Structure 1
Amino acid sequence: MSAQHTIDLPVTERQPAAGALARTLDDVVALQRRVGALYLRISEGPETDAVVGSWDAESGYPLPGLAVWPLAAEPWWPAGPAVWIARQLVQSSYLLGDRKRPWLLTGTEVGRGADGEPLVTNVTPLADVAPGVSLEAQSAYAAWRCRDFR
């Protein structure tokens, strides 16, 4: 993307409530159980996303919502919510970078991105995710992947 554009994304809050922080994988699981449709976003944060939005990297087109990772387990997933959430944290970790951080939000799904990811508007940031949660998720997901199939 050569030029920065503003996209109209209704954001009800600009920052997670009172510096809320999910310190453990269990914190993320508990929050998902409480709110239901919880999403993970890895970006410079809600403040920046409210101005910049999401873009399709290949085409350069602005997306109609923020690209997110769903943290509510799919009905076909038999391993439970903790492993699903750990998997989502691990699978999205390639997006972490200099100023990019993981944070949790709710919102209204308005479509899908080119890779099938949900796009959400009416975003409410709920919490940042502490750095240690990523390591905990990697451990939990690796243990599940190495499970005994007998």
Structure 2
Amino acid sequence: MPTLERLDELTQLMEHGVELYLRYSPGPVADAQHASTDHESGLVMPGLSANPMRVPAWWSLPPEDWLARRICQYLRELREGARPWVLTGRVVDFGPDNEPLLDDVEPIAWLSGELVRHAHQRYRDRLDAGRATH
């Protein structure tokens, strides 16, 4: 599986019209061996949990800002040994955080550490990162 090194590479990939998702995990090989589990209930879910990458229609800032925000939502997973990767698949249901659950998963690319660092910097520089909604 290729590795994306720059945020603009991810932006270009998004322009191909395929619905892409982001997942933090040990990777597609490990994920193929076990299903996603709801950590609070212990229930096995019918697909892999993933986060949609599509830029919404209301987003008027550059798409790189949206992607940086999406990448940064689960950075704590890196400390737990997970790696970020991009995938596509068929949505079969939704998880406890309303995240899509995918089957027929097709791995697309890893995100490099450099890309994640750049996304984190962009997120902090260009958006009000961590601001509460109230």
Paired residues in the alignment total 128
Larger Rg: 1
TM-score of the pair, normalised by structure 1: 0.80
Q: Which residue of 2 aligns with 1:57?
A: 39
Give the distance between the partners of 1:130 and 1:88, measured in 2 at CA: 15
Shift of 1:31: 1.0
Letter in 2 for 1:69: N
Structure 1: unaligned runs, 5 residues or longer: 1-15
Secondary structure of the 2:14 match is: helix
Q: Which residue of 2 aligns with 1:110?
A: 92
CA contact (8 A) 1:105 1:123 kept: yes
TM-score of the pair, normalised by structure 2: 0.89
How do 1:109-128 and structure 2 match up within 5 A? 109-128=91-110
Give the distance between the partners of 2:65 and 2:71, measured in 1 at CA: 10
RMSD: 1.4
Letter in 1 for 2:10: V
Shift of 1:32: 1.3
Give the distance between the partners of 1:21 and 1:35, measured in 2 at CA: 20
Shift of 1:43: 0.4
CA contact (8 A) 1:36 1:72 kept: no
Secondary structure of the 2:60 match is: coil
Determine whether 1:25 maps to 2:7. yes
Deviations 1:48-89 (A, max 9, x none): 101112110100101111111111112222223211110011
Q: Which residue of 1 aligns with 2:114?
A: 132
Letter in 2 for 1:93: L
Q: Which residue of 1 aligns with 2:66?
A: 84
Deviations 1:75-131 (A, max 9, x none): 222223211110011111111135311111111111110011111111000111100
CA contact (8 A) 1:103 1:129 kept: yes
Give the distance between the partners of 1:65 and 1:80, measured in 2 at CA: 31
Give the distance between the partners of 2:64 and 2:19, measured in 1 at CA: 15
Structure 2: unaligned runs, 5 residues or longer: 129-134
- Percent identity (aligned): 36
Give the distance between the partners of 1:112 and 1:98, measured in 2 at CA: 23
